[in-house]
A and B are shown apart, each in its own frame.
Chain A
Amino acid sequence: MTAVIVGDRARLPSGLDLTGNRNAQAFSGRAWGTDGTGDYLSLGSPSDLDGFFNTGGTFTGWFNVATSSHYEKIFDFGTATTLSLQADMSGYIFTKDWSTTDGSWTYNGGGGASHGMWFHLVLSYNASSTGNDPALYINGVLQTIDGETTPVGSAVADTSNKFLGIYNDGSSNPYDGEMADIKFITSTVTAAQALEMYQNPEQVLPTGISSSALKCWLPLCDYDIAADTTVGGLYFQDASGNGNHALSTNGAMSFGHPVAPQLGLRSSSSRVLVNNVSGKQASATLQSAPGTTFTVACWFMEMANDDTNIIWRMGGTTATDDDFLELYLNSSGQLQVYGDGSVTAGSPAIGEWHHVVVVSDGSSPYCKVYVDNSEISTSGALGQAADISTATLIIGDQAPTLTAFPFDGVISEIAVWDSVLTSGNVSTLWNSGVQGADANAVDGGNLLNWYKCDNNVSLTNLSDNSTNVATYAAADQNMVTVPEGSTADLSSFGTLTTPRQGSGVFCIPPQRSVTGKLGGVLTSPQVAFGTQNWTMGCWVKSSGYTDSYQAIWQFRPGNDRGPRCYITSATAIQMDYGGATTTDTVSMTVSSLMGNWTFVVLQRLAAASFKGWARKISDSSWTSQAEAVDVGDMTDPDSGVCGWGYRADNDAYNLNGPLAFPRIWLHGSDTPWVEAELNAIFEQGKRFLVGDS
């Protein structure tokens, strides 16, 4: 599986209300901005964008042009394949590189767009024939071609570096304005699909377009770096999962755009297990051996059929023990149940969530398989009824004692019952959606083990009848955060149906989870702490401690002055702060820190008076520690990225969970918040977060 980076849903409150209902088409988003003096994005020359239009391709995005006077480039694919603006937004010119004569199509008129106005652009073209014309849609409306040079020869492959916002020399015709939500789709779209993209900007792809056609998706909202600092040298994530990230040269983040769809800020804390390499499986001991009557249910999404992909194995763990059952997808994408013989149960589509329930009642034909709430007519046969006498469950592989066939995709909610679920039970699970069901409420008395697969430290057993966790073979398990709510097709990992969190909760890319990294990083400009009093704090919820510190905040870009705060063990928070004179540290022990929302605060109360505070959401009082060291001027002279929940230089220090309501108050020489005021701030945050605790 290629590295998967998922853009998570991120509507601000103007886009969605607190219950997840959409408020018309209102978005308040970030965008990537240029100033017309040479800012641009470079995609390099990834092979899956070569010959982009040659067999049908669609480029789409949201744009807000500040000025245009001389063929400013929206894109340039390095040869003669470009999309340019005409002066004063008076039209568009698309050219395509052909071997003999380049094609060129001119559209006069802005299509209703003008300077300072966000508009949606779709350019769809198939260069497989000289007779084809490109279709340009502005805000869903097809534009008339006013001038044309018909191409001659064959379409050139366009294998050069691909630029956004500038000519292919990286200097000329720079775009001046903002852009957001850029997508490269290797398929043409119809007028209806172009209109759908405009009218439903929160939808990743229009109806009928396969997710595999999305080769690059740049939400362009990754940073919240103030516009007095460029985002030059930083990459913008490709949320399509194809690794086609865009490197910014200069450019800046732009904020407060009421139209541009925005991803990355508001997100879920719900996560699922990503598996794609050997040695990442989870193993558990079942509460009891299931014997011959049992049910196993799970959700999965396969990402690629490159080999046998084992979802789970139950029972025998050696080659000589044939009392086992496995659910897997073979390299042809067929879903199979394998024990003493194998049963084939259809070919679930790649890249979509599927719910599979395997039921054994000890009689011939030995098992039923439900896929997405339908009992599947199977082919093949198990030679005999499975009799699972070994109480083991392996999730995501059959290793370690057997040959590794790691599942290539994501897995959620594996539940095992020592009973035969009815079709009605299966419907209940299916209708509840991914992570939407309470398995204890479905024949709960016979539920053995149940794992949501949402923790990268170990998998908590949510069964009321058992506490056996599932342990990972590796310490650095990959997870991915998945959007919550009912909006379909929002990310390549679909959506979950768990309750949404209150607004303001931010999900950090899971710790160490390079494969499953997603969304934005909560960066911040430096703060001139100086020698004034201040209070800073936020809510955090770490799902587990691995082997590295987890950054809560880091405002010490030069590693000498400013405050930092880390989770340093499963029960410890450490804050250190440096100044021109010296550094000092606050350390606090907080029991049950993992898995519980905790409000963490550090204050400078006076020159030689600092105090750290921590309070879990269920606590009635604070844990605190005071220090009496004057560290001196705390403004760090170095420029650098500060932020919340992560350290810019290393994914290993990411917070292992969500973060909410980060704030810094600069009090000057005034008295900082006293305990009663901190209590009020605590209660304010608690109201939003209590539903998730």
Chain B
Amino acid sequence: MTQWSWTYALVDLDKIDSALPAGITRFDYTETDEGGNVTEVHPTYRQATRSRQVGLGAKNDTHQIVKFSQLDFETEIPALQAEGFSLMPQSKAAELVASWAPDGPE
């Protein structure tokens, strides 16, 4: 299913639990502990999925697809590119993931 509003990043597998680039603050959230203390969280790629505007997709031994909804061109896309990640549209991402698949119907 084509999803025009999504951008797909090929992220190094060992960075999934690293913080998003500092320039991407849209998915930041706060946590309040039992004492009422509020902590601002700048999430990792995995934590950012709580927004449901970030999704962790298929992976191989070295990379995982991370998809982002409605990235802006001015700060967010350059921030991901600066990390060295390949960014691609849905069709390219689906094509790439298909190429990772086991070579048989089972």
Residues of chain A having any CB pair with chain B under 8 Å:
33-39, 66-67, 69-72, 80, 82, 84, 93, 95, 102, 104, 167, 171-174, 176-178, 225, 227-233, 250, 252, 254, 638-639
- The SS class assigned to the B binding surface is mixed
- Tell whether A171 pairs with B3 under 8 Å between CB atoms, given A38-B65, A230-B53, A250-B67: no
Contact of A35 among B6, B29, B100, B105 (CB under 8 A): B6
* B94 in the interface (beta carbon within 8 A): yes
Residues 48 to 106 of chain B near chain A (Cβ within 8 Å): 49, 51-53, 55-60, 65, 67, 69-70, 90-91, 93-95, 97-102, 104-106
Inter-chain contact A232/B58, CB cutoff 8 Å: no
What chain B residues lie within 8 Å of A36 (beta carbons)?
Answer: 1, 90, 93-94, 97-98
Inter-chain contact A71/B6, CB cutoff 8 Å: no
Q: How far is the CA of A693 from the CA of B58 in the complex (A)?
A: 52
Count A/B pairs, Cβ under 8 Å: 117
Inter-chain contact B5/A227, CB cutoff 8 Å: yes
Inter-chain contact B52/A71, CB cutoff 8 Å: no
Interface hub of A34, A80, A232 (most chain B Cβ within 10 A): A232
Q: How far is the CA of A228 from the CA of B58 in the complex (A)?
A: 19
With both chains docked as a complex, state the minimum distance between the C-beta of B55 and any C-beta of chain A, in angstroms: 4
What chain B residues lie within 8 Å of A172 (beta carbons)?
Answer: 58, 97, 100-102
User: A34-B1, A38-B57 given. 7 additional CB < 8 A pairs?
Assistant: A33-B1, A37-B65, A69-B98, A70-B99, A172-B97, A228-B69, A638-B29
Residue of A nearest to B2 (CB): A66
Q: How far is the CA of A80 from the CA of B70 in the complex (A)?
A: 38
Inter-chain contact A171/B58, CB cutoff 8 Å: yes
Residue of B nearest to A83 (CB): B105
With both chains docked as a complex, state the minimum distance between the C-beta of A582 and any C-beta of chain B, in angstroms: 19
Q: How far is the CA of A30 from the CA of B100 in the complex (A)?
A: 30
Q: How far is the CA of A639 from the CA of B68 in the complex (A)?
A: 14
Inter-chain contact A228/B55, CB cutoff 8 Å: no
Inter-chain contact B53/A229, CB cutoff 8 Å: yes
Inter-chain contact B94/A67, CB cutoff 8 Å: yes
* B8 in the interface (beta carbon within 8 A): yes
- Tell whether A37 pairs with B53 under 8 Å between CB atoms, given A95-B105, A102-B106, A104-B105: no
Residue of B nearest to A71 (CB): B105
What chain B residues lie within 8 Å of A69 (beta carbons)?
Answer: 95, 98
Residues of chain B having any CB pair with chain A under 8 Å:
1-3, 5-6, 8, 27, 29, 49, 51-53, 55-60, 65, 67, 69-70, 90-91, 93-95, 97-102, 104-106
Inter-chain contact A70/B55, CB cutoff 8 Å: no
Q: How far is the CA of A84 from the CA of B104 in the complex (A)?
A: 10
- Tell whether A228 pairs with B1 under 8 Å between CB atoms, given A37-B58, A69-B98: no
- Tell whether A250 pairs with B104 under 8 Å between CB atoms, given A227-B3, A229-B52, A639-B51: no
With both chains docked as a complex, state the minimum distance between the C-beta of A75 and any C-beta of chain B, in angstroms: 12
What chain A residues lie within 8 Å of B100 (beta carbons)?
Answer: 171-172
Contact of A39 among B57, B59, B99 (CB under 8 A): B57
What chain A residues lie within 8 Å of B105 (beta carbons)?
Answer: 71, 82, 84, 93, 95, 104
Contact of B58 among A95, A174, A231, A254 (CB under 8 A): A174
Q: How far is the CA of A541 from the CA of B44 in the complex (A)?
A: 44
What chain B residues lie within 8 Å of A33 (beta carbons)?
Answer: 1, 3
Inter-chain contact A231/B52, CB cutoff 8 Å: yes
Q: How far is the CA of A95 from the CA of B104 in the complex (A)?
A: 11
Inter-chain contact A70/B53, CB cutoff 8 Å: no
What chain A residues lie within 8 Å of B70 (beta carbons)?
Answer: 228
What chain B residues lie within 8 Å of A225 (beta carbons)?
Answer: 52
What chain A residues lie within 8 Å of B90 (beta carbons)?
Answer: 35-37
Inter-chain contact B55/A66, CB cutoff 8 Å: no
10 cross-chain CB contacts under 8 A: A66-B1, A69-B98, A174-B97, A177-B1, A227-B5, A228-B70, A230-B52, A232-B49, A250-B57, A639-B52
What chain A residues lie within 8 Å of B58 (beta carbons)?
Answer: 37-38, 171-172, 174
With both chains docked as a complex, state the minimum distance between the C-beta of B62 and any C-beta of chain A, in angstroms: 13
Residue of A nearest to B55 (CB): A250
- Tell whether A67 pairs with B91 under 8 Å between CB atoms, given A37-B65, A174-B97, A229-B69: yes
Inter-chain contact A639/B53, CB cutoff 8 Å: yes
What chain B residues lie within 8 Å of A638 (beta carbons)?
Answer: 29
What chain A residues lie within 8 Å of B106 (beta carbons)?
Answer: 80, 82, 95, 102, 104
With both chains docked as a complex, state the minimum distance between the C-beta of A306 and any C-beta of chain B, in angstroms: 40
What chain A residues lie within 8 Å of B67 (beta carbons)?
Answer: 35, 37, 250
Q: How far is the CA of A71 from the CA of B104 in the complex (A)?
A: 7
Q: How far is the CA of A558 from the CA of B95 in the complex (A)?
A: 37
What chain A residues lie within 8 Å of B8 (beta carbons)?
Answer: 37
Interface hub of A36, A70, A254 (most chain B Cβ within 10 A): A36
What chain A residues lie within 8 Å of B99 (beta carbons)?
Answer: 70
- Tell whether A173 pairs with B57 under 8 Å between CB atoms, given A37-B93, A228-B5, A230-B52: no
With both chains docked as a complex, state the minimum distance between the C-beta of A123 and any C-beta of chain B, in angstroms: 14
Residue of A nearest to B104 (CB): A71
Residue of A nearest to B58 (CB): A38
With both chains docked as a complex, state the minimum distance between the C-beta of B59 and any C-beta of chain A, in angstroms: 5
- Tell whether A37 pairs with B1 under 8 Å between CB atoms, given A67-B91, A639-B51: no
Q: How far is the CA of A36 from the CA of B58 in the complex (A)?
A: 9
Contact of B52 among A80, A173, A233 (CB under 8 A): A233
Q: How far is the CA of A404 from the CA of B3 in the complex (A)?
A: 55
Residue of B nearest to A72 (CB): B98
What chain B residues lie within 8 Å of A38 (beta carbons)?
Answer: 55-59, 65, 97
Inter-chain contact B55/A176, CB cutoff 8 Å: no
Inter-chain contact A232/B101, CB cutoff 8 Å: no
Contact of A173 among B2, B27, B53, B101 (CB under 8 A): B101
Contact of A176 among B29, B94, B104 (CB under 8 A): B94
